[in-house]
Chain A
Amino acid sequence: MAAPSAPAPVAEAREIGRLTFTAAEITRFAAAFDPQPAHLAGPHNAGAPVASGWHVVCAWMGFFVRSHEGAEAEALPGDHPAVISPVGVGFGLKDLKWLEPVPAGTRLVFFTQVEEARASGSRPGWQILRRCNSARTEAGQLVMSFTLSHLAPMVSAEISEP
């Protein structure tokens, strides 16, 4: 277990998960947050809705957070930044693009890639990461991309950016 040391290295795009967007899940999310007819299964779209863009980006976040779950953090003290906040704290994001519709039955592959990493000037043990994130079809077509900046705990590179 390496001690907090250096910011995460700039890395290649890393796959964080895959998900098939079913008509039922698309409709469930849309009914709660984005009930436009295109996102709700019904006779008007032959039971085949397209996913809300918010659903796609929220699914990305779910995979991103779960990709940080690791046994290594369990060996750290309870007040360590990586235990309190394994992923970090989002400042916000730039330029989210929804490029292609995601019809029911589509299987998406989610990615993240660190573009810039620097140590936080004000919080020892933390780093500021800028990462480019995306979702593609399994055939490789880009359907969503965005840039996210966030504060992240500086642990070993294995935790902060596998």
Chain B
Amino acid sequence: MTYYEDVEIGSTAELGSYTFTREEIIAFAEKFDPQPFHVDEEAAKRSHFGALCASGWHTAATWMKCLMAYQNRSNATDKPIRAAGASPGFRNMRWLKPVYAGDTITYVTEVTEKSVSRNKPEWGVVRSHNTGTNQHGELVFDFEGAVMMRRRP
């Protein structure tokens, strides 16, 4: 079990990379974001994006997917970055560049802030800066995340 006290400000981790396929972009968007440039290649060509690109929510949910995969494969020698757990929310999510079909996004997290809960002193909040960078080295996505972590008893 990883506790709040185990996490150090400044710790970073590469969570993993994910290649967004045309099929997955369309399947996600048909359900959660059916704008023409996310579901229709021809319409996307006519849009300001110029080609089919992923919903920003798809980019965000895939961050979570990569975080969970990282947590499952990380071991005791890795510096803990956070625990999987309840999140109170996040701040300042930005979609800076489109994620096109075929793009590979690499997600990185850095611990930025820790605070003990005022109401529930057995819990702390760990905040992190999270980024997604494409295969050209361009930052496409970032946000300030937060997670509740138990304090060491």
Q: Mark A30-46, 1 if CB is under 8 A from B, else 0.
A: 00111110000000000
Is B20 interfacial (CB 8 A cutoff)? no
When C-beta atoms are compared, the residue in chain A nearest to B89 turns out to be A97
Given A35-B68, A84-B47, A85-B47: A62 and B34 within 8 A (CB)?
yes
Number of A-B contacts defined by CB within 8 Å: 85
| Contact present for A94 and B92 (CB under 8 Å) | yes
| Contact present for A33 and B48 (CB under 8 Å) | no
Q: What B residues does A65 contact at CB under 8 A?
A: 33-35
Given A54-B64, A85-B48: A98 and B87 within 8 A (CB)?
yes
| Contact present for A84 and B84 (CB under 8 Å) | no
Query: Of A36, A86, A91, A97, which one neighbours B84 at CB under 8 angstroms?
Result: A36
Is B9 interfacial (CB 8 A cutoff)? no
| Contact present for A90 and B36 (CB under 8 Å) | no
Main secondary structure of the interface of A (DSSP, over half): mixed
Is B128 interfacial (CB 8 A cutoff)? no
Binds A, one of B55-63, B73-81, B100-108, B112-120: B55-63
Q: What A residues does B55 contact at CB under 8 A?
A: 61
| Contact present for A89 and B48 (CB under 8 Å) | yes
Chain B: number of interface residues, binned into ranges: 20 to 34
Q: What B residues does A90 contact at CB under 8 A?
A: 56, 95
Given the complex of chains A and B, what is the CA–CA distance between A33 and B90 in angstroms?
A: 17
Query: Of B32, B33, B92, which one neighbours A92 at CB under 8 angstroms?
Result: B92
Given the complex of chains A and B, what is the CA–CA distance between A89 and B33 in angstroms?
A: 12
Nearest CB of chain A from residue B140's CB, rounded to whole Å? 12
Given A86-B36, A96-B93: A58 and B88 within 8 A (CB)?
no
Given the complex of chains A and B, what is the CA–CA distance between A159 and B138 in angstroms?
A: 34
Nearest CB of chain A from residue B32's CB, rounded to whole Å? 4
Given A54-B61, A61-B55, A61-B57: A84 and B43 within 8 A (CB)?
yes
Query: Of B31, B43, B64, B89, which one neighbours A62 at CB under 8 angstroms?
Result: B31
Q: What A residues does B64 contact at CB under 8 A?
A: 33-34, 52, 54
Given the complex of chains A and B, what is the CA–CA distance between A79 and B45 in angstroms?
A: 11
Which of B61, B86, B88 has the most CB atoms of chain A within a 10 A radius of its CB? B61
- Give me 14 other A-B pairs in contact (C-beta within 8 A), A34-B68, A146-B89 excluded: A32-B65, A58-B31, A58-B32, A61-B33, A84-B36, A84-B47, A85-B35, A89-B48, A91-B95, A92-B56, A92-B94, A94-B91, A98-B86, A98-B88
Query: Chain A residues in contact with chain B, CB under 8 A?
Result: 32-36, 52-54, 57-59, 61-62, 65-66, 78-79, 84-87, 89-98, 146
